[in-house]
Amino acid sequence: MPMRLFLSLLLLAAMPLTARAAACDVPAEVMSAARPMPAVARAIQARNLRVLVLGSGSITGPGASGPDAAWPARLEAMLAQRHPGMRVELTVRGGRGVTVQDHLALLREAQTTQAPSLVLWQAGTVEAVRGLDPDEMGEAMMQGLERIRRAGADIIVMDQQYSRFLRANANIEPYRDKLRLVAAAAGAALFRRYDLMQHWVETGALDMERTARADRAGATDRLNDCLARAVAELIAQGVAEAR
Amino acid sequence: MSDDSKPLGKPGRDPRADLCRGLALWMIVVNHTPGNWLGGFTLKNFSLTDATEVFVLLAGYAAAFAYAGMADRQGWAPAAASLGARIAKLYVAHIFLLVVFTAQVGFSAATLDRAVYLDELALDPFAEQPYRTLLEALLLRFQPAFLDILPLYIVLLAILIPGLWLRRRPWLVLGLSLGLWLGARALGVNFPRWQEGGWFFNPLGWQVLFVLGFLLGQSVRGVASLPLPPRNALVTAGAVACLLIGLLVMIASEAQPWLLEPLPLWVPGFLASIDKTSLHPARLVSILALAYLVGAYLPRDGWVVRAAWLRPFILMGRHSLPVFCFGILLSFMARLLLEADDGWGMQVLANALCLAALVAVAWIGEWSRATTRRRDPVLPAAAGSH
């Protein structure tokens, strides 16, 4: 910790405040959560990858410059870029205030159409903010994860966004614990968005709460891009482990 | 205050219970201040149980001394009246804390006008429906984050009013309590919340721990109660095993998640099913194991309860109501400090301020109790003075 503090202080001193745009690096412990993703590996081989994103407010990329800047859209573009010639079809379901219970219904609907190879499930923010029962959230999510597993898709669970405001004013820990255990119980990878965003805040790479109004849209785009990059990285790792 | 030969409190009062309660109160403040580095060292990081369980168990224990003792001496009605007065005090304290909390969240939300945090902004229901939220808060059907222990405590004390009737029938009390706990768990019954779901701490579940604490207190008082478990190798081994398993579980699920990977999926599945809301049996067993080991192996007059540096915690345990309420208030302020800056300087400052204020509150409580005693001609001066 002191070493990291020292380094970030050094970084702060070396850069003028306006250009404090350190790279949004992804620490090893975030990547260590990767799990083998055989379904995605098969889909890449077949040159046709279908991804379903379930989530709440952040999947629509609020505050970003446009719909193409939201992290799911960025992820779609990055996956297509990494695998030239592959068809990537990414569907987004959910939105502001959507809970895990709502996701269950959306999941049923989405699975009747075309089965995805990968489900990216972002959850836990709405529940924490409203103080809903973390155990009920966990049970509902277990059901959904079981369903996805039976359908043969790989899963990534994504946790909450970090902010000082959320950390201070919501009892976030029980929900983070539950997501972690539920993901482990389903054999799913956990994308630790909370830890990652906190890491970016602490290293001065990206701090939404301390960004001036004029720079906000640009910073939001960058946040979405960084998140998409890290998820793409996690998927690549999972595919590599499946081989 | 003089330390020589002065017993802590009146005879029968166990300084170990006060010490544990004082430590639990401090941990509750630390755990209610998210982002606090000390939060990584509290009981919940090493055990399936945490400071809430300690607090509720010892609340039942203390209630046996205070209210069952009073009912034995003066009858049920004065004890019930005294309980009623306590409940009223707790309710007023809760509403006061709610007002402070609301002001704090409102302040924080006003500075967070970032579109990125669309979902997070719903944290402030007062902004959307102020009057309805206020009404629901008064009915205890709206409990904001971190303001959920006092409502539980209020209901537990209210249950004790009829419970005192049955104080001479400990097995009946235990049977009713276990039945209520298991029944509530099996049927999923909980006190209702305003929008959906139930209380974060389901009183129908948590009462079992309070009642066990009460029966423990009755045993220690020497009146009709359950027999205390004997101090022997078998029970000790069981208790140690429980706590060790809990420790391993916490290490595997929090600090070193890779430990879970090679295990069959039902292991994390079982861990995910351990709920706090209705007090999962694993949590209950853990706190009972911890209480057994403290009761059996921490000598009542050992160095631990005599150590000068632990004395502030004993004082905090003796004045738990003001310390608890003030602690919640302090955690709001510490939260604002850490929200503004969570570097090590602020961490040290916030924690030092909180602990110093808690000790001051306990010390003032002790001092004022001593002064009232001294004026009381019936009781001899209990506390020494210079």
B111-123 pLDDT, tens digit each: 766 667 777 777 7
Question: What are the sequence ranges of the domains in chain A?
Answer: 33-242
* Nearest CB to A130; choose among B112, B195, B261: B195
Look at A138 and B272 and tell me if their CB atoms are within 8 Å. yes
* Nearest CB to B114; choose among A132, A139, A216: A216
Assign A92 to helix, strand or coil.
strand
The Cα A107–Cα A81 span in angstroms is 27
pLDDT of residue A112: 66
pLDDT of residue A21: 46
Chain B touched by A231 (CB under 8 Å): no
pLDDT of residue B114: 64
Chain B touched by A114 (CB under 8 Å): no
Look at A172 and B34 and tell me if their CB atoms are within 8 Å. yes
- Asked if residue A100 has pLDDT above 80, the reply is yes
pLDDT of residue B374: 67
Nearest partner of B23 among B66, B63, B54, judged by Cα:
B54
Mean pLDDT across the stretch A101-118? 84
pLDDT of residue B115: 67
Q: Which chain A residues are closer than 8 Å to B104 by Cβ?
A: 169
Task: Give A84→chain B minimum CA distance, Å.
Answer: 31
pLDDT of residue B375: 62
| Banded model confidence at residue A1, pLDDT cuts 50, 70, 90 | very low
- Asked if residue A19 has pLDDT above 60, the reply is no
- CATH for the A33-242 domain, from 3.30.365.10, 3.40.30.10, 3.40.1160.10, 3.40.50.1110: 3.40.50.1110
Q: Which chain A residues are closer than 8 Å to B27 by Cβ?
A: none
- Asked if residue A6 has pLDDT above 70, the reply is no
Cβ atoms B267, A173 nearer than 8 A: no
Look at A126 and B122 and tell me if their CB atoms are within 8 Å. yes
Look at A161 and B116 and tell me if their CB atoms are within 8 Å. yes
* Nearest CB to A184; choose among B108, B109, B268: B268
The Cα A124–Cα A194 span in angstroms is 11
pLDDT of residue B145: 84
The Cα A153–Cα B55 span in angstroms is 45
Chain B touched by A96 (CB under 8 Å): yes
- Asked if residue A16 has pLDDT above 60, the reply is no
Chain A: residue whose CA lies nearest to B272: A181
Q: Which chain B residues are closer than 8 Å to A182 by Cβ?
A: 268, 272
Whether this model's ipTM surpasses 0.90 comes out as no
Distance between first and last Cα of chain A: 36
A212 vs B216: which has the higher pLDDT: B216
pLDDT of residue B103: 85
Mean pLDDT across the stretch A129-133? 88
A149 vs A110: which has the higher pLDDT: A149
Burial classification of residue B11, based on how many CB atoms lie within 10 Å of its CB (0-12 exposed, 13-18 middle, 19 or more buried): exposed
CA distances from B162 to B56, B66, B67 (A): 19, 15, 12
Look at A56 and B119 and tell me if their CB atoms are within 8 Å. yes
Mutate to test the interface with A, among B105, B117, B275 (most CBs of A within 10 A): B117
Question: What are the sequence ranges of the domains in chain B?
Answer: 15-375
- Asked if residue A3 has pLDDT above 60, the reply is no
Chain B touched by A86 (CB under 8 Å): no
Look at A97 and B119 and tell me if their CB atoms are within 8 Å. yes
* Nearest CB to B123; choose among A58, A169, A186: A169
- Asked if residue A88 has pLDDT above 90, the reply is yes
User: Which residue ranges in chain B fall short of pLDDT 50?
Assistant: 1-11, 378-386
The Cα A96–Cα A89 span in angstroms is 22
Chain B touched by A166 (CB under 8 Å): yes
pLDDT of residue A144: 94
Cβ atoms A175, A136 nearer than 8 A: no
Chain B touched by A184 (CB under 8 Å): yes
**Helix axis angle, B311-318 relative to B344-375, nearest 10°?**
60
Task: Give A94→chain B minimum CA distance, Å.
Answer: 12
| B337 contact partners, CB below 8 Å, separation of at least 6 | B346, B349, B350
Mutate to test the interface with B, among A65, A181, A201 (most CBs of B within 10 A): A181
pTM of structure: 0.87
Distance between first and last Cα of chain B: 6
Nearest partner of A161 among A200, A104, A218, judged by Cα:
A200
| Number of neighbours of residue B372 by Cβ within 10 angstroms | 10
pLDDT of residue A46: 93
- Residues 191 to 220 of A: which have CB under 8 A from any B CB? 208-209, 211, 216, 220
